[in-house]
Amino acid sequence: MHRHTRAFWSLVMCGATLAAGCRPTQPFYFMEDGDLSHYLDVATDIEYPDVDEPSLDEVTGALPPLTLKNTDQYEMWDLSLEEATRITLCNSQVMRQIGGAAIVGAQVSQNTPESISRTLVSSVSVTTTYDPALRETTVGSAFGSQFSGTGVEAALSEFDAQLDMSSVWQNNDRPQNLGGVAAAFQSPVFQQDQGVTQSQLSKTAADGTQFAFRNNTTYNANSNFIAQGAQPSIWETNFEAFFSRPLLQGGGAQYNRIAGPHSFDQYAANVTNAFDGVVLARINTDQTLADFEGGVRNLMRDVEQSYWALYFSYRDLEARKMGRDSALETWKKVSALYKEGAEGGSADREAQSRAQYFQFKAAVEQGLTDLYRSEARLRYVMGLSMSDGRLIRPGDEPTTAQVAFDWSSIHGESQVRRVEIRKQKWEIKKRELELIAARNHLLPRLDAFGTYRWLGAGDRLTGSGGAPGPFADGSNAFNTLTGGNFQEWEVGAQFSMPIGFRKQLSGVRHHQLLLARDRALLQDLELEISHQLGDSLRDVDLNYQLTQTNFNRRVAAEREVEAVQAVFDAGRITLDLLLDAQRRRAEAESAYYRALTDYNLSVLEVHYRKGSLLDYNGVYLAEGPWPGKAYFDAMRRARSRDASMYLDYGFTRPNVFSRGPHAQQGTDRGTAVGGGEVYYQESPTPAGPVYEGEPMTLPHPAMGAQTDVRAGAGADQVLQVNYAAGDSPRVLPQVQQAGGSTVFSGSYERQADYSTAPAAANAAVR
């Protein structure tokens, strides 16, 4: 009967299991009330952080943006490129980045509108002026940080002296299982007061040797001492001088400065970045400086691109206005003829001229909005407010002089000055040093160590007088120690070696592959930069030729409108031919200035690709001022280092890994055809010969630099040019004769517009 009952309940349990199915169930709680609102409300609410940071004045004081309906309240701000660069650098703790810009490479996009699509600031990806200092002060690889590895100061701290102290006191009261003879010499209840105090000053040297000086002091008072007739309490103290030096693996200044003094333990524990010494920390800092320089370079590129894009927007708007005004004038004439019923005033002509006018009017409205967008883009790059009651207008004119770069010069310069190449070479140097450290682990571990100890014991720890013996009444431990009667020493060696070095060989192979990969990346990077430079140089020649062609197209379109207008006024052609000529003139005007802007941007692109853009803009990087206390500490350390004793670490001394400061001043800026260097220029050079008393224009030097433009072949005189009154004082350019000696001097005015065709900067002088 009992068996049947168990079988019945077994069937019931199996049936319940099958009915429930294999699914997880919530546990049962006796005190549960089923109300989880107090938890859900807190866990799912979107909250705002309690942060009260002041905003920039450029944000809080921003005025409504300029639009087609808001164009009344503003004043013109004539801004030079040099001033725009200066303002940008002053306002750029964060290197602003513009994504989806309307300027791609060296070309101004022909698509309208020129909208601004920016990448929002991220604390990890954006470059700031704090990055080099953050790298220097990095302690470890924090989660979410863009800085991996430790900084230089943190790596140097591994060699700092370390003071450790501890003190432990305890009381014991324990019964003892004693009998027979032992009960006569020991107390049945063991009672003890015990104290242990330890202090140590340790230091790791640059070659991995560890030094330590310790003091160990103990106090012991127990019932067994009383039962045995000895002193009721004793003090023991000792001083130890200790050293441990790695002779093979982990030894030498080179390894420890590359990997750090504790890298062997980290390597054994499979830590990812086991090598993190002073030299690698310094290389990380150099790479951060390269990233910072690249951020400043990109910012300067965005400034100049935005500046010339705004210049083009003004010129393009003027071209559209010119087309609108000519279409309006034509419409008025045709409309008047139509109203009078005169010849040439038919309804179709009036409608056609009116449609042309509104087409140009829409183009002007679009161009004005594009100008506001371009101005806002430049404002953003410069760190200014969206609108402050002023409308920026470029005060500099783009250069029209033909700039020629020597390929062999700029190609070699690009392979040296590009930030990306320098950073990758630092990465290769890091891999080479890591490989040296990894090969060190192929050596057996052999450490020599030694200890020398002075001991003392007594009834008391310190005091004066007392018995001379260590355990006599009134004796003290320090008197016994200073007496020098009890001294100990030990010297030894410890050896360990894995059979086969499988893990160490794998680590060496891993770092060899990392080095080979980074070398391949460097070669491919050099190839890519070479192609980029070639493309930018090709664009320089193309855009200069397009500038000349479009200038001729502009002149031809102007003459066409004049001729067609005269024929139309005579009634010999239809209206559509005049309207087409006016439209082509506006398009030619815009195309010329687009080509001229593209030409200047292509020169900018060459400097960007060869790594001399900062030098081209007169921007140089330097460490900012430190607090006065920092200079005081630096001087003290320099004096201490100068007065210290030099220690030769022999063959383990680290090799040179840096070539010193990187030159920020470049070589090839580009030369005008026939002569000297070309900087920023304000107006074109006349195409034909220059005669006495005629107005002429020469390249305009910027930033106090001298511009030498040599005369072309056949010139037999030298022209000394003095700028007209009202010009800011600058170094006067000279047109120098190629081989003659006759000098002709006179005063010439500077043309401010583009009334002459652009040509090379070698003006022949008669």
With bands split at pLDDT 50, 70 and 90, how would you rate the model's confidence at 6? low
- In angstroms, the CA 312 to CA 327 distance is 22
Contact 248, 210 (CB under 8 A): no
Range scoring the smallest mean pLDDT among 166-170, 433-437, 496-500, 707-711:
707-711
With bands split at pLDDT 50, 70 and 90, how would you rate the model's confidence at 165? very high
Range scoring the smallest mean pLDDT among 26-30, 353-357, 520-524, 546-550:
26-30
What value, to the nearest 5°, has the Cα angle with vertex 702 and ends 397 and 752?
35
- CB atoms under 10 Å from CB of 629, counted, come to 8
pLDDT tens per residue, range 207-255: 889 999 999 999 988 877 655 556 778 889 999 999 999 999 988 888 9
Rounded to the nearest 5°, which phi and psi values hold at 640? -65, -40
More reliable by pLDDT, 409 or 124 = 409
More reliable by pLDDT, 347 or 762 = 347
Residues with Cβ within 8 Å of residue 398, at least 6 apart in sequence: 308, 311, 596, 597, 599, 600, 681
Does the pLDDT of residue 586 top 50, yes or no?
yes
- In angstroms, the CA 198 to CA 216 distance is 5
DSSP summary character for residue 750: P
Q: Which helix (H) or strand (E) holds 329?
A: helix 278-340
The answer regarding whether domain 1-127+284-425+503-621 maps to CATH 1.20.1600.10 reads yes
What are the structure tokens assigned to 627, written together? Answer: 């607090």
Mean pLDDT of 415-430: 93
Does the pLDDT of residue 431 top 70, yes or no?
yes
What value, to the nearest 5°, has the Cα angle with vertex 543 and ends 537 and 545?
110
pLDDT tens per residue, range 727-738: 333 333 333 333
- In angstroms, the CA 643 to CA 641 distance is 5
Residue 124's pLDDT is 54
Contact 600, 289 (CB under 8 A): no
Residue 748's pLDDT is 30
Contact 124, 146 (CB under 8 A): yes
Contact 234, 222 (CB under 8 A): no
Q: For all residues of the chain together, what is the average pLDDT?
A: 77
Quick one: which of 410, 414, 411, 412 has its CA closest to 668?
410
Residues with Cβ within 8 Å of residue 243, at least 6 apart in sequence: 209, 210, 211, 212, 449, 450
Highest mean pLDDT among 54-63, 195-204, 355-364: 195-204
What are the structure tokens assigned to 474, written together? Answer: 């009134």
pTM of the model: 0.74
Quick one: which of 164, 157, 162 has its CA closest to 260?
157
DSSP summary character for residue 476: B
First-to-final CA distance of the chain: 136
Q: Please report the DSSP string for 149-214 in residue order.
A: S--HHHHHGGGS-EEEEEEEEEEEEEE----TTHHHHS-SEEEEEEEEEEEEEEEE-TTS-EEEEE
What are the structure tokens assigned to 569, written together? Answer: 């006024």
Does the pLDDT of residue 723 top 80, yes or no?
no
pLDDT tens per residue, range 257-279: 998 887 666 565 555 567 888 89
* Burial letters 215-225, b for 16+ CB under 10 A, else e: ebbbbbbbbeb
Residue 351's pLDDT is 87
Beta bridge partners of 744: 719
pLDDT tens per residue, range 634-677: 888 888 878 877 665 545 556 677 777 777 776 565 655 543 33
Q: What is the CA radius of gyration of the chain?
A: 42
Contact 419, 611 (CB under 8 A): yes
With bands split at pLDDT 50, 70 and 90, how would you rate the model's confidence at 87? very high
Quick one: which of 236, 295, 258 has its CA closest to 88?
295
Residue 161's pLDDT is 93
Does the pLDDT of residue 7 top 80, yes or no?
no
- In angstroms, the CA 14 to CA 18 distance is 6
With bands split at pLDDT 50, 70 and 90, how would you rate the model's confidence at 509? very high
Residues with Cβ within 8 Å of residue 38, at least 6 apart in sequence: none
Range scoring the smallest mean pLDDT among 165-174, 200-209, 656-665:
656-665
Does the pLDDT of residue 309 top 70, yes or no?
yes
Residue 218, sorted as left (phi over 0), alpha (psi -120 to 50) or beta, turns out to be beta
Whole-Å CA distances, 462 to 457, 466, 515: 10, 10, 62
Percent of the chain with pLDDT strictly greater than 70:
72
Residue 701's pLDDT is 34
The three-class DSSP label of residue 428 is helix
With bands split at pLDDT 50, 70 and 90, how would you rate the model's confidence at 30? confident
The two beta strands, 75-79 and 390-394, are parallel
- In angstroms, the CA 154 to CA 202 distance is 18
Mean pLDDT of 682-704: 35
Mean pLDDT of 23-34: 76
Domain spans, the chain:
1-127+284-425+503-621, 161-174+186-276+445-496+627-663, 670-766
Mean pLDDT of 40-60: 75
- In angstroms, the CA 365 to CA 67 distance is 10
- In angstroms, the CA 719 to CA 710 distance is 10
Query: 753, exposed or middle or buried, with CB in 10 Å at 0-12, 13-18, 19+?
Result: exposed
Quick one: which of 605, 631, 628 has its CA closest to 616?
605
- In angstroms, the CA 202 to CA 164 distance is 8
Quick one: which of 287, 285, 275 has its CA closest to 434?
275
Contact 595, 550 (CB under 8 A): yes
- In angstroms, the CA 9 to CA 16 distance is 11
SS3 content of the chain, % helix, strand, coil (to 5): 45, 15, 40
Residues with Cβ within 8 Å of residue 347, at least 6 apart in sequence: 338
Question: Side chain identity at 687, as an amino acid letter?
Answer: A
Whole-Å CA distances, 429 to 149, 258, 280, 425: 16, 11, 9, 6
For residue 85, how many C-alpha atoms fall within 13 Å in the half-sphere facing its CB?
A: 21
Torsion of CA 518, 524, 525, 530, to 10 degrees: 150
More reliable by pLDDT, 478 or 693 = 478
Residue with tokens 């010499």: 185
Quick one: which of 70, 62, 69, 77 has its CA closest to 391?
77
Contact 108, 599 (CB under 8 A): no
pLDDT tens per residue, range 443-459: 999 999 999 999 988 88
Considering Cα of 362, then 366, then 371, then 376, what sign does the dihedral take? positive
- Longest CA–CA span in the chain (Å) reads 150
Q: Which helix (H) or strand (E) holds 638?
A: helix 628-643
Question: Side chain identity at 279, as an amino acid letter?
Answer: V
pLDDT tens per residue, range 313-350: 999 999 999 888 888 888 888 888 878 877 767 788 88
Quick one: which of 643, 220, 193, 236 has its CA closest to 454?
236
The three-class DSSP label of residue 623 is coil
With bands split at pLDDT 50, 70 and 90, how would you rate the model's confidence at 497? very high
The two beta strands, 233-246 and 445-458, are antiparallel
Mean pLDDT of 569-579: 82
